[in-house]
Amino acid sequence: MADDCMNILLFSNLYPPVVSGSSMQTCALASALAGQGCQVTVITTKLEDDAPDHEEIDGVHVYRLPCIRLPQADIALNFPWLNITFTPGNQRRIDEIIAQRQPDVLHLHNHMFDLGFSAVRAARRWKLPLALTIHTIIQHPVGLYNLLLYPLDRGLMKLAVVRHADVIICPERTTWEYMEEGFRMDNLVLIPYGINSPPRQSAARVEEVRRKYQLPKGPIILSLGHLHEVRNRHDLVRAMPFIIQKYPDAVLVIAGSVGTPSTGALARQLGVEKSVIFTGAVAHNETLALLQMASLEAHWFQQKDNPQTRTLGIAALEAMSAGKAVLNTADENIYGEGVLTDGQNYLQVRLNEPEKTAQKVLVLLDDPAECTRIGQAARQTIEENFSWPQVVSRTMDIYRQMATRTYSNF
């Protein structure tokens, strides 16, 4: 089989126009593979009524299956895109697509949506190797919910989906340990997320986005990503009274769909509601404009266990690629030794220390040259460790081993 003619089929419940970390990552991988000469097909869900059932985008054939939209629920962190696709009609449609496209390898993104059942069924029916990328750890900040989620995740989903994967791709140490310790899986490979350098937005476009969200000209602390209780931004809101004491026109901009009222309630309780702006869900090109006008980016996951394995997150990586200084709780070794260094290419903060977090923000606002230096080092880190050519090369190596059923590197 020639290196440039592999035929790959990706499964992902989330795909553009849905804007989420895993959907954008899956889309970028599909486009990068197509750019390397692969035939690439994506099977996803039709979450927008006006989205076409089938289209070709950048050489990628995208098929969208009808789905049943589920209501938002606290146990799912009020995630706005829950859906069900596992129907007889969709299984027939998947078989038709596979018969037409003739893939060599299947690659499932996310294990906790029901397209995982379809991917496993397709792999067994068509005798195809299956890769699985773990994008999300199933963990809820409310312990009572975990009593239900853990058995479903590490029992049902392990039996029905995870154990059927030939290879499990982990983007960082957090997901690796999640699979190793929680699922007892050993067919793991570490391939980081690929990050594109963002195109620069025009001054007119930046100003348009500024007006849309009524953002002031003062310092902008940007916090990218959906707002829910695992990423509730409470530490940042609690830091704002210290920050606006010195920079009264500074604002915290939380850009992402809002799945919890607690952050807004906290801002009102602290009297900083005018300094905390919620944009709601934003298009990706608006995210680029927000990054361009931001002084820095800050957000993290409120995971209280395994504090040494907190992930940086795709949004923070994208901010780094835009040359922004990033504040995060991620451990320095989350992507391997020497990739991240506190004070050099990012700033490490700790949970529940809002005053110290504010001090780190103020250091950057007080010294724009230092902020720029860290941002430039961050961009270089992304180029050296997260470039798409590197990620695609490593992913293709896995695909080739899967297609020939040789797994010597694991």
Task: State pLDDT tens for residues 15-58.
Answer: 998 878 889 899 999 999 999 999 999 999 998 888 899 999 99
Phi, psi of 165, deg, nearest 5 = -75, 135
Task: State pLDDT tens for residues 353-367.
Answer: 999 999 999 999 999
Distance CA 384, CA 404 (A): 30
Least confident stretch, 142-156, 254-268, 394-408: 394-408
> Average pLDDT, stretch 340-354?
95
pLDDT at 4: 55
> Average pLDDT, stretch 289-318?
81
pLDDT at 305: 53
Task: State pLDDT tens for residues 198-253.
Answer: 889 999 999 999 999 999 989 999 999 989 888 999 999 999 999 999 999 999 99
**Spatial CA neighbour of 224 closest among 297, 288, 280:** 297
Distance CA 4, CA 22 (A): 25
Distance CA 239, CA 250 (A): 12
Model confidence at 308: pLDDT above 70: no
Mean pLDDT over the full length of the chain: 92
Task: State pLDDT tens for residues 56-65.
Answer: 999 999 999 9
Q: Which residue has the tokens 């504090």?
A: 307
Task: State pLDDT tens for residues 184-193.
Answer: 999 999 999 9
pLDDT at 304: 54
> Average pLDDT, stretch 362-377?
97
Distance CA 65, CA 55 (A): 12
Task: State pLDDT tens for residues 127-181.
Answer: 999 999 999 888 887 889 888 999 999 999 999 999 999 999 999 888 998 999 9
pLDDT at 410: 44
Model confidence at 2: pLDDT above 50: no
Pairing of strands 83-84, 68-69: antiparallel
Phi, psi of 156, deg, nearest 5 = -60, -50
| Contact predicate 6/38, CB 8 Å | yes
**Burial tier of 314 (Cβ tally within 10 Å: 0-12, 13-18, 19+):** buried
Model confidence at 306: pLDDT above 80: no
Distance CA 407, CA 401 (A): 6
Q: Which two tokens stand for residue 63?
A: 């098929």
User: Is 328 strand, coil or helix?
Assistant: strand
Give just the sign of the alpha carbon dihedral 33, 35, 38, 43. positive
Ordered domains of the chain (ranges, CATH): 3-194+387-404 (3.40.50.2000), 203-385 (3.40.50.2000)
Give just the sign of the alpha carbon dihedral 105, 110, 111, 117. negative
pLDDT at 133: 97
320's enclosing H/E stretch is helix 314-321
DSSP string, 108-153: EE-SSSTHHHHHHHHHHHTT--EEEE-------SSHHHHHHHHHII
Task: State pLDDT tens for residues 102-122.
Answer: 999 999 999 989 999 999 999
Q: Give the strand order in the sheet containing 276-280.
A: 276-280, 251-255, 220-224, 296-298, 326-328, 347-348
Model confidence at 341: pLDDT above 60: yes
Provide the 10 A C-beta neighbour count for residue 281. Answer: 14
Phi, psi of 195, deg, nearest 5 = -130, 125
Region for 238 from its dihedrals, namely left if φ exceeds 0, alpha if ψ lies in -120 to 50, beta otherwise: alpha
pLDDT class of 406 with cuts at 50, 70, 90: low
